[in-house]
Amino acid sequence: MTDPHAQGNALAVLGLLAHTELASFSRLAADAVAAPALDQRLELSRMAAMAMGRLELVDSRVTDLGSGLQAAMGPFAGALVDLDARTAPSTWTERLLNAYVGYGVVDDFCRVVAGPLDPTTRDLVDEVLADDGHAGLVVETLAGAGTRDGTLASRLALWGRRLVGESLGAVQRLLADHPALRDLLVQAQGSGGVPGDAQQRLFSTLTAEHSRRMERLGLTP
């Protein structure tokens, strides 16, 4: 890829994605320590290690594009800190919902803005994001808890709405701070639209995907 503009855009998406994986790693590792039983601690620790595996995939593509992982991640330092602070879980099931829904909205956003990138980078982004959510025990625990306990199910549904609201806020800040991401969003949705429209359509898409994840857990979106 010799177009420096396209390359800058690709590195922006990869930098954000790398940051998401590193943040997932740290969050899942902290969840693992809080786990009430060994099987959940093992599963969450393994999920954390898988996030690092995905980070290595991103790293190799960043290197192929002639940059370095730290340089690509730098502009996104702190991007998810605010989101984490606003979505700190207060119970174990909320924690599990964070682990499962995770940075799902941000991940979906990465997938959208990766659309107009070169095919190799786009495929890499899809591969990294497809690897998510092999969380059998987490899904079982949450789905089971929701079925058995109506009060818990409503509390988790409320927590899910909090998660999606804060995540959309984080995406809004990412778009405001990173012209490359705005540029890619407009490209992804076809030219001709005004930026405000593009963002509105994006938010509908991201909300719909989040609802599907909640429904898979048997929870009201």
Please give the residue ranges that form the binding site for its own copies (CB under 8 A): 22, 25-26, 29-30, 32-33, 38-39, 41-42, 45-46, 48-49, 52-53, 55, 69-70, 73-74, 77
Minimum distance from CB of 49 to its own copies (Å)?
4
Minimum distance from CB of 118 to its own copies (Å)?
25
The residue type of 165 is: G
Q: Which of 146, 147, 141 is nearest to 156 (CA)?
A: 146
Give the residue with the Cβ less far from its own copies, 45 or 220. 45
Give the residue with the Cβ less far from its own copies, 48 or 128. 48
Give the residue with the Cβ less far from its own copies, 43 or 107. 43
3-class secondary structure, 153: helix
Write the CA distances from 54 to 4, 26, 50, 167, integer angstroms. Answer: 25, 14, 6, 21
Cβ 37 vs Cβ 49: under 8 Å? no
Give the residue with the Cβ less far from its own copies, 78 or 192. 78
Query: What gap in Å lies between CA 50 and CA 218, rounded to an integer?
Result: 26
Minimum distance from CB of 85 to its own copies (Å)?
13
The residue type of 113 is: V
Minimum distance from CB of 16 to its own copies (Å)?
14
